[in-house]
Structure 1
Amino acid sequence: MMSKVKSSETVKVVVRCRPLNRKEAAGVTGTPGGRGGIVEMDVHRGQVVLRNPRALPGEPRKTFTFDSVYDASSRQRDLYDETVRPLIHSVLDGFNGTIFAYGQTGTGKTYTMQGAWLEPERRGVIPNAFEHVFSQISRSAVDRQYLVRASYLEIYREEIRDLLDPNVHTQPPHTLELRESPESGVYVRDLSSCVCKSVKEIEELMNLGNQVRSVGATDMNEHSSRSHTLFLITVECSQTGPDGRQHIRVGRLNLVDLAGSERQAKTGVHGERLKEAAKINLSLSALGNVISALADGRSGHVPYRDSKLTRLLQDSLGGNAKTVMVATLGPAPQHYEETLTTLRYANRAKNIKNQPRVNEDPKDALLREFQKEIARLRAQLSHREGRGKHREEEGEEGWDGEGDEEGEEEVEKERKLQKERLEEENKAIREDGSLLAVEKQRLLGEKEIMMGDLRKERDTTKQLTAKYKAMESKLLVGGRNIMDHTSEQQKTLETRRQEISEQSRREREILQQVMVQDEETLELRETFSSLQQEVEAKTKKLKKLYAKLQCVKAEIQDVNDEHVRSRQELEQTQNQLTRELKFKYLIIENFIPPEEKNKIMNRLTLDPEEEQWKFQLLTPSERSGCVYLYRVSACVCSCVCLSV
């Protein structure tokens, strides 16, 4: 059940520009003013001014306004405190939240999202979010219980891979499927979910996933991300409500690191890298179409199903989530078109409206299952330890387990006494000469059975206790110092940082409102003392409007040029892929037996949920035959390539 409907709010969009790198700086030496950058950031007004390096004399610059902007000198902590921190607070309160970085390859998306983990000043959004989540849990009220889970996936060439699955790179690759349900929306079936109790554990999970993430070198970035990744943190919180019952709120945080948009001609990719780039650009194009459809507001259809990326972000764009988009820019003149495209996408995204609401008492909450299992184990232990119903009811009120430890000590003492008593009785039976041998053997057998039952009881109780403690250790309780370095000084410092960030945000919003109001007020207050003055004022206004008209015409021309470039690149990619397809089709027609080809065709089935053709699983005999055919095809391909 979901409640507490919140009024709609727009996607928060921030822009960050990296400095020129050495290669770019060397290419723009000797430019006027000693600067070669085409991007100017007005941090106080939240504006980005873009200069066209090939602009005609008198052509105006393009200006965009966003929630906040960060120039090359900005720090990682500034972006986190002002933009991300409020979102993490919302997630802990039961809202869904999404942060994703969008931009050209090599503009700093991965640096913004992850940064340098071992350097506190350069840690990115993700490690700071980890620390924030667990520190807030440690400072929350004592009556709250938390369960934190994490999942990590990547979308590589339109296939979803579980980065926490040890068999993620098996052959054939193990891919996951998207599904949709009325309760949880779009989800990934069979995705791993690991319970985390500390910052260290969740960081180890991400490091494990990063080791198998798909990356590769291009002409624009030595370690370019070749896939989109999504790190999902689910925070479940249980708290006693006014009605005396336990209520659960579930917040989900999506940390998305998108692969870079790129021009294939600039990146110099070919072969497998070309196929990767084609899939990346298609999914980012689908994301742009979704953003445009949502921002336009007039379109009745939003093309979420055009890619797996847009389906996974369906809830974050126009759905039940609070979303932050970080657009990253490169200031080099040679990347003017890509920078302009990124700014346009970001400018459209700030018009998207979401309807975030608190997720209360969902059916799939794992925390409730943990609580039920712990209560069941506690009841069994209480029954075994002979503490009665009163002790069981007392145990349900507290979660610290201190009373259980005292009871265990008492029961252990009782068992020792019982064992000693049985041993004494056994000794007395053996030493009693008045008993017949048969009777003595019967009594000793009964005592041995009792000793065996006692040992079984002790082993069962130990197993239950261990399971109970293991289950309980996965739950985090508010008010406990989970992070040793948390202190009152840090709490105060964090509060002050938050106040400063909030004050800066308000100041920026007020400044933007004042700028708009000043223009309107100036027009309303215009009075003229003579006809000549009125003519001059209206001529000035006409020139201003004419300049705006020229800007609009230039914008239309830019959009058309961009469309032509994109179409030409897509046609080029299509031609290359078509040539490869024809080559493979030629091999199939000339070297693969028709009956084997028919077998392959018969294995194809249409998945209506994903709208894709898929192969049915092979039997062991069929698999060996396919391996043979694959080897034959590989040999044929090698021979044909050598002959060419």
Structure 2
Amino acid sequence: MASKGKSSESVKVIVRCRPLNSTEEANGNYRIVEMEGRTGAVTLTRPAGGSSEDPKVFSFDKVYDWNSQQATLYAETAAPIVDSVLQGFNGTIFAYGQTGTGKSHTMEGKEAPEELRGIIPRAFHHIFDAITAVANPGKEFLVRASYLEIYNEEIRDLLAKNATHRLELKENTDSGVYVKDLTSYVVKSVRECDKLREFGHKNRKTGETLMNKDSSRSHAIFTITVEQCETMPDGHASIRMGKLNMVDLAGSERQSKTGATGERLKEATRINLSLSALGNCISALVDGKSSHIPYRDSKLTRMLQDSLGGNTKTVMIANLGPADYNYEESLSTLRYANRAKNIQNKPKINEDPKDAMLREFQEEIARLRDQLNAAGTSGGPGGGPGGGHRELVVEKVVEKEVVVERVVGVSQEEVDRIRRELEAAKEAEKQALLDENLAQREEALRAQAALLEQQERMASEAERVAETERKLRDLEAKLIGSDGTNIIDEHARQQQELERYQAELRRREDAEREAARALQEQQDAMLAKEEKYGSLQEEADAKGRKLKKLYAKYKAAQSEIADLQAEFQTEREDMLETVRELTRQLKLKAATIDLFVPPEEQAKIESRAEWDDEAEEWHIARAELAGNAVANGRPQASRHGRRPVSVHAKIASILNPSNPRYKGENVLALELEMPERTTQDYEGVQLNPTIKQAIDAALDDSEELSLEGAQNLPSMYFSYDPEGTGRAKGRKKSIKKPAR
């Protein structure tokens, strides 16, 4: 692969801040972010109640505040990348930021109104408008599109019929990192690209959190590959291929703010790990001392390997939330972006790539043309199989006359009767056919009349259109400038000139900012040099100024270290809380398995499981044939049966009903075996005989009971002794029968 333009180029970093939403305004939150579009500075102020340190100031290539428009953002940041892709470079545009800061709005936007379209749909129009404007007949273009997502460290094809199927990430020396079996469609218009994007967006994983009602739970990458073949005057064909990756990253989030639990917590953990791996790669690229870049720590970093430190023109759009309660997240995003702007890429034009599909298409077209030419010259006119005429096969329909033969044993009168009946049926059928033909003719006449009427209307409409076109040409002919040029064409030319002037103005502004930064660095370097002073006072004043400046830098560095430590501690606590939650879920799953899966079955599963190092997960061979996975392929249950049974089992159960092997599992059809009895019947309460005698006497049917013999009973049951002699003295006590 030939290369051009090997000069180093830094990653362009853009910062965009959304406005306060209705929820933040209702909660009384206020904006802590200030932006200066001319200098590219972002100022972040600590909320009230925190430490009284100075605001944080960062400088970037471009900044866009809450009043920025989608069209302006695209024209100044994304359009140069798309233009470079049309020239044969690789380009990447990706949005990064906290969840709910407007990344999907920046990349995709909304279909209506047109002003709200994001970078991806605008890039479609940009590419096909540029291809249409090419007036060189010797240039041919081939545009392909693909759409994938990285969800829970699994790559999924959003344009496939089964979007949940996991794809593998491969790498070779020719094409670098690629996704095996990824669907790629050849597109010929903006509408086809929009349909693919809409179809893939429906398959993308989204979910609701406390910070975003429609939060993206995966990293999405829409890729457009533009191949162009230009035929030189000497007949040599040159192919260039540019690839544009438009990446909508999932937002970084904290469990304490999003309230993620269960599946959402698992998704957030994967998202944060992949974004952390991306940050580690950026830090390693900027450090300069690291000999190893950890691209393989995540599928995302492997996919963006060529975009960070490779053969790609890259633009990073960092999205911010302006509210005071997101101070830590906004500061982390700004530091992240500030490191990324120091990455150096080496973009080059991809000429005559080995994996260009346009070359394959041209070779296939040439082969088919050769076959057609060979087929046209191999046979004579009307000759053999290769001749110019094809054999016309005509299906012949032969009407057979029904002949009624004389049958032995049938009289002539019967034969005549049958003949008359056949003739009558034939006449009736003929009359029906005539009636049907007449109806068809009437319908055809009505359709012909309607067609004539429609043709007359179309003719009158064509005359009206022709008259309108004539008037339009007359008006256009009148719109001629003083120099003889058409005013409409002149307006289009002026519009193109204006766009060129605006692009040149943007380049000059960028150059001015770079010059201002270089001047500031030069001044700082001059302060560090040894100087000669005319007097001790002059030397003291100069060194005092230098000392104050160095002390301010020292205090800023101390504050930065404290912020980094606090941010690290916050992230550590959040990760620990996530680990605790995941550990609780893991223990719950382990307890469920221990309680409901027998140990011998667990041992069988563990013996069949195999560890996949690349996917970092366990796999069980032929798991698709286990359990309910093959229930649809089994035979239907027999009537009055509990489950599907084979023919052998049915026959065996009929021949030997007593064999329990072939019996169903319906407990109502089984004979129960009673267990040995371990209880006895209830016989009531066993009372003391003396007490029982007293109760029976109390329940006697007589009206009065004599208690003369009561002295024989224990005193605890009868204590009537009015004289205190210790006995009843033969007194009688009338006890009435209690009411029943």
TM-score, length of structure 1 as denominator length: 0.76
Question: CA 1:506/1:609 → structure 2, altered by over 3 Å: closer, same or farther?
Answer: same
Structure 2 gap segments, 5+ residues each = 394-490, 633-740
Contact 2:17 2:64 in 1 (8 A): yes
> 2:23 maps to which residue?
23
User: Following the alignment from structure 1 to structure 2, what is the Cα–Cα distance between the partners of residues 210 and 99?
Assistant: 18
Question: 1:497-508 to 2 correspondence within 5 Å?
Answer: 497-508=502-513
1:40 to 11, 34, 42: 34
Offset of 1:602 from its aligned partner? 4.0
2:147 to 134, 144, 152: 152
Opposite residue 319 of structure 2, the aligned amino acid is T
Opposite residue 6 of structure 1, the aligned amino acid is K
Opposite residue 593 of structure 2, the aligned amino acid is I
Contact 2:612 2:619 in 1 (8 A): yes
User: Following the alignment from structure 2 to structure 1, what is the Cα–Cα distance between the partners of residues 293 and 387?
Assistant: 71
> 2:80 maps to which residue?
86
> 1:3 maps to which residue?
3
Question: CA 1:514/1:154 → structure 2, altered by over 3 Å: closer, same or farther?
Answer: same
Offset of 1:129 from its aligned partner? 1.0
Question: 1:438-587 to 2 correspondence within 5 Å?
Answer: 491-492=496-497, 494-517=499-522, 532=537, 535-587=540-592
**Per-residue displacement from partner, 1:600-629 (whole Å, max 9, x unpaired)?**
3344334454555434343535564899xx
Contact 2:527 2:546 in 1 (8 A): no
Question: CA 1:118/1:497 → structure 2, altered by over 3 Å: closer, same or farther?
Answer: farther
Match status 1:52 vs 2:46: yes
Offset of 1:495 from its aligned partner? 3.4
Offset of 1:541 from its aligned partner? 3.3
User: Following the alignment from structure 1 to structure 2, what is the Cα–Cα distance between the partners of residues 612 and 298?
Assistant: 33
**Per-residue displacement from partner, 1:481-523 (whole Å, max 9, x unpaired)?**
xxxxx97676555434433433333333334334444566688
Q: Secondary structure at the match of 2:137?
A: coil
1:206 to 181, 192, 197: 197
**Per-residue displacement from partner, 1:91-150 (whole Å, max 9, x unpaired)?**
112111111111011111111111122223222111111111111111223211111111
2:160 to 151, 161, 165: 165
> 1:315 maps to which residue?
306
Question: CA 1:367/1:79 → structure 2, altered by over 3 Å: closer, same or farther?
Answer: same
Question: CA 1:310/1:504 → structure 2, altered by over 3 Å: closer, same or farther?
Answer: same
Question: CA 1:598/1:111 → structure 2, altered by over 3 Å: closer, same or farther?
Answer: same
Contact 2:376 2:387 in 1 (8 A): no
Opposite residue 301 of structure 2, the aligned amino acid is T
By relative contact order (CA 8 Å, sep 6+), the higher-ranking structure is 1
Q: Tell me the percent identity.
A: 55
> 1:329 maps to which residue?
320
Offset of 1:539 from its aligned partner? 3.0
Q: Secondary structure at the match of 2:156?
A: strand
Match status 1:124 vs 2:118: yes
Question: CA 1:615/1:621 → structure 2, altered by over 3 Å: closer, same or farther?
Answer: closer
2:350 to 319, 334, 359: 359
> 1:74 maps to which residue?
68
Contact 1:45 1:512 in 2 (8 A): no
> 1:282 maps to which residue?
273
User: Following the alignment from structure 1 to structure 2, what is the Cα–Cα distance between the partners of residues 112 and 158?
Assistant: 24
Contact 1:81 1:497 in 2 (8 A): no
Opposite residue 508 of structure 2, the aligned amino acid is Q
TM-score, length of structure 2 as denominator length: 0.67
Match status 1:271 vs 2:262: yes
User: Following the alignment from structure 2 to structure 1, what is the Cα–Cα distance between the partners of residues 566 and 79?
Assistant: 39
Match status 1:95 vs 2:86: no
Q: Secondary structure at the match of 2:580?
A: helix
User: Following the alignment from structure 2 to structure 1, what is the Cα–Cα distance between the partners of residues 7 and 201?
Assistant: 37
Q: Secondary structure at the match of 1:211?
A: helix
**Per-residue displacement from partner, 1:355-386 (whole Å, max 9, x unpaired)?**
22222222221111111111122223333444
Q: Secondary structure at the match of 2:349?
A: strand
> 2:287 maps to which residue?
296
User: Following the alignment from structure 2 to structure 1, what is the Cα–Cα distance between the partners of residues 618 and 351?
Assistant: 38
Question: CA 1:331/1:573 → structure 2, altered by over 3 Å: closer, same or farther?
Answer: same
> 1:407 maps to which residue?
none
**Per-residue displacement from partner, 1:360-415 (whole Å, max 9, x unpaired)?**
22222111111111112222333344499xxxxxxxxxxxxxxxxxxxxx99xxx9
User: Following the alignment from structure 2 to structure 1, what is the Cα–Cα distance between the partners of residues 516 and 113?
Assistant: 35
Question: CA 1:417/1:107 → structure 2, altered by over 3 Å: closer, same or farther?
Answer: closer
Opposite residue 586 of structure 2, the aligned amino acid is L
Larger Rg: 2
User: Following the alignment from structure 1 to structure 2, what is the Cα–Cα distance between the partners of residues 539 and 338?
Assistant: 37
Query: Please, which moves more after superposition, 606-615 or 570-579?
Result: 606-615
> 1:107 maps to which residue?
101
Contact 2:146 2:159 in 1 (8 A): yes
Structure 1 gap segments, 5+ residues each = 30-35, 389-409, 424-485, 628-644
Q: Secondary structure at the match of 2:555?
A: helix
